[in-house]
Structure 1
Amino acid sequence: MDSATGSGYWYGPDGPLGTPTAVLHALRDYRSAEVATRRSTRDSMGMGETDLLALRYLLRAQASGERVGPKDLSRILGITTASTTSLIDRLVGSGHVRREPHPTDRRSLVIVPTAVTDAEVRATLGAMHGRMLSVAEQLSAEESRIIVGFLRRMAEALEQRPEDHPQP
């Protein structure tokens, strides 16, 4: 369906879309493209969504000098400790991460992505991120300010629970 001409099932009767509805359709189209790209990335790396999310988090943490333990991964990913153990076992087995002793707490471990993982993620996602950055660099400062504000408000709207806004 052409998002500029069809309303879909969610936004009202068929016919020309108003500006707010066109924006929501564009967001849906973006999200669909992002989901397809993530699926392709996961497939090319031979891993699941949670594995890729864990690697992304571990790489960001490593870049900022943060140490990540299994409990941190459980909390960030919203999975049980048993699932986290299985996840780490898979990532260790595939050569994407290492378990290392915590430098200041002998009882703890930290999970560290390997250099191969960093290179693989950069090779797999680098071109896509470059294309996205190129699009963003074409925006004026005012356009950027408006878009960032809009996306932050949309994120807040999605994060609100139904009980935050009782129906009349």
Structure 2
Amino acid sequence: MAPPRASAQDGCGHAPAPDQADGVQVLNILRSYHAAEKAQRDRMRGSMEMNDADLSALAHLLQADHEGRALRPIDLSRLLNISTASTTTLIDRLETSGHLTRGAHPTDKRALILIPTMGEDTDVYQTFSVIYQRMLAVAQSLTPIEAATVGKFLGQITAALDPASAPRSPA
């Protein structure tokens, strides 16, 4: 499937200079991706009857679980950029709804870890999995050179938007 064509205007409603047309097209495609991702999240929130923070928390919990990592409440707080009080309320909500349990940290007995309770047969897991697999298939179709180019571009865009969250280059 071919990428969408750039409109005759940039995101600010101006016609791009000829030497900027390719860059404007890429930014327009990036905006289209962002809109598609937001629409998908809105559909998921509606079908799961969850707010955005809960849905993001579940995504982080599933990702960490998939990677064999445990998340503590403070980790979730930082990932979601919310206060510890808001995180406690969110965790209480997800625990009440059966999406997670609190468990003892394996090495720090004073700390808790958050354990997702969504098995592979649950709607939540299936929804995240289907979307992830579709996106992964697209990413895996890239050649190594294309993947490096996309990775570099997205890292630079991330740094342009939020220098503090930019991915670190391997040393």
TM-score, with normalisation over the residues of structure 2? 0.79
Matching residue of 2:96: 93
Conservation of the 8 A alpha-carbon contact between 1:59 and 1:118: no
CA 1:129 to 1:74, structure 2 compared with 1: closer, same or farther past 3 Å? closer
Aligned to 2:129: 126
Amino acid at match of 2:82: I
Q: 1:7 aligns with which of 1, 6, 9?
A: 9
- Counterparts of 2:66 and 2:133 in 1: how far apart (Å)? 19
Equivalent runs, 1:17-166 vs 2, <5 Å: 18-116=21-119, 119-160=122-163
Q: Moved runs in structure 1, 4+ residues, more than 4 A? A: 14-17
Query: 1:135 corresponds to which letter in structure 2?
Result: V
Q: CA–CA distance in 1 between the matches of 2:9 and 2:120? A: 42
SS in 1 for 2:119: helix
Q: Which runs of 5+ in 1 are unaligned?
A: 162-168
The Cα offsets for residues 47-96 of structure 1, whole Å up to 9 and x where unpaired, read as 11111111121222223333322222222211112211110111011100
SS at structure 2 position matched to 1:12: coil
CA gap of 1:104–1:144, structure 2 versus 1, over 3 A, is closer
Distance 1:38 1:132 in 2: 14
Percent identity over paired residues: 41
Q: What displacement does 1:108 show?
A: 2.9
Larger Rg: 1
* Counterpart residue type for residue 23 of structure 1: V
Say how many residue pairs are matched. 160
Q: Normalized against structure 1, the TM-score is what?
A: 0.80
In structure 2, what residue type is equivalent to 1:93? T
